[in-house]
Chain A
């Protein structure tokens, strides 16, 4: 991630600047969309053609470490922001991150019902479907059905599903269950199994790296 830079400004200045620029860019984008000079589809495609997977890789690293190091996992669940910082991950909107652990009886899913708040410091830019109005409403109303029908993920009846609504203040990251048969794996090997979808909660981690991507919607 970012290497430490000398800071001659306070965290507050930083936040102000980021939010100024966010508003400014959104304003321009909204005017251009309104005038139909550009479509958000094309913008997204241009970005995604360039966005490498640095984002999700960071999240995968966090998950793999949590699986391998119980003390780290404990710190992560207590204060995800601080724990991620140990790995040099975070800053900016990585502030106030909360890690949610999936267990044999609980499955966590994240959404942002208002817009598209996303733990992008660890997962990169949000996928298109995450921002779609369909996902944002459906996952809240019928999580089990949405996971099954739209993501091909069957969550057994023994598991409670908890949907978490992200906001600008709190961003969630799901720590998926560690698959069986991975006891001998190194952290790096484990990280390669962890998908972006599993950290949003719309996928599960398979013991073998699969080429097929979950979470494809039309």
Chain B
């Protein structure tokens, strides 16, 4: 895996290109022109989606199209049946779906693992990989 050789500046340029054609509802939330994340899970989702693409797991276009589709799905739901808008929630949904479609992960292992985190069966090993 490419890791430490990574130059922050380079990755910033690359990311800029990736997200440059995401606009309208698909545009990333910004403040003073900079990306903003409201919670760590949001930035982690962002980081994962880009890292996986960089590692060649999918084309960015596939991700982007799925994201647009997810956003549209949310918008077409009646207000009563949907949680309030969160941009990065659409990202995580898109990412999960894309990885499942590609056969990289299964819904089952995802559900199982989520359950483990929710119930504290699996705790903070996450950062000390």
Q: Which residues of A contact B (CB under 8 A)?
A: 2, 8-9, 17-33, 35-52, 54, 92-93, 114-116, 120, 125, 131-133
Contacts and interface: CB of A to CB of B under 8 A. Distances in A.
16 contacts: A28-B92, A28-B110, A32-B105, A33-B126, A35-B104, A38-B55, A42-B51, A46-B15, A46-B47, A48-B8, A49-B8, A52-B34, A54-B36, A92-B38, A114-B123, A116-B127
B34 to A, nearest CB: 4
A18 B105 contact: no
Contacts, number: 152
A54 B31 contact: yes
B37 A51 contact: yes
B54 A42 contact: yes
A25 B47 CA distance: 11
A43 B51 CA distance: 6
B60 interface: no
A131 B126 CA distance: 10
Interface string B108-123: 0110011011100011
B77 interface: no
Contacts of A38: 1, 48, 51-52, 55
A84 B95 CA distance: 35
